[in-house]
Amino acid sequence: MSYDPQNVFAKILRGEIPCVKVYADEAAFAFMDIMPRADGHVLVIPKAPARNILDVDPAVLAAMAPALTRVARAVRVGMGADGLTIQQFSEPAGGQVVFHLHVHVLPRWDGVKLRPHTGEMADPKLLEQHAARIRAAL
């Protein structure tokens, strides 16, 4: 399958769809997941087009790695988490829904389960509050 430049994350990168931005550099962009499975759930994506881990140019993935680790550390500190779950889904059978490579950074607390993915969108004000905490930790 080929990359579709009309996917929702490509539109976010072009500024055609709003998001709650957390971080950006020359290679990557991080923003709040609008259907979070945990408070502080962030998505990190490459700015370069890539459908998923199966077709990404290794140089693009390598360039994205520093942003991913920087954001992950900030999520843990900013949200006061005990740990993190990092997820990446590839292709429909693997659970991928948006076909632009993205990595989920989910803060985790001892004894607290992830919320189910219901499709319900979070309150934008709450997302902004979480993003502010994470940005402050950057």
**Mean pLDDT, each 10-residue run in order, the chain (138 residues):** 95 98 98 98 98 98 98 98 98 97 98 93 97 98
Cα 62 to the chain's mean position, in Å?
16
Query: Mutual orientation of helices 124-137 and 58-79 as an angle, nearest 10°?
Result: 100
* Residue 102 annotated to the active site: yes
Return phi, psi of residue 31, to 5°.
Answer: -150, 165
Going by C-alpha positions, the residue among 70, 63, 66 that lies closest to residue 84 is 70
Task: Please state the pTM of the whole predicted model.
Answer: 0.97
- Contact assessment for residue 34 and residue 26, using Cβ atoms and an 8 Å cutoff: no
DSSP state of 111: T
Q: What is the pLDDT of residue 1?
A: 80
Domains and CATH numbers, the chain: 8-137 (3.30.428.10)
Q: What is the pLDDT of residue 23?
A: 98
Question: In the sheet where 83-87 sits, what is the strand order?
Answer: 21-24, 28-32, 42-46, 103-108, 83-87
Instruction: Name the catalytic one among 41, 102, 104, 130.
Output: 102
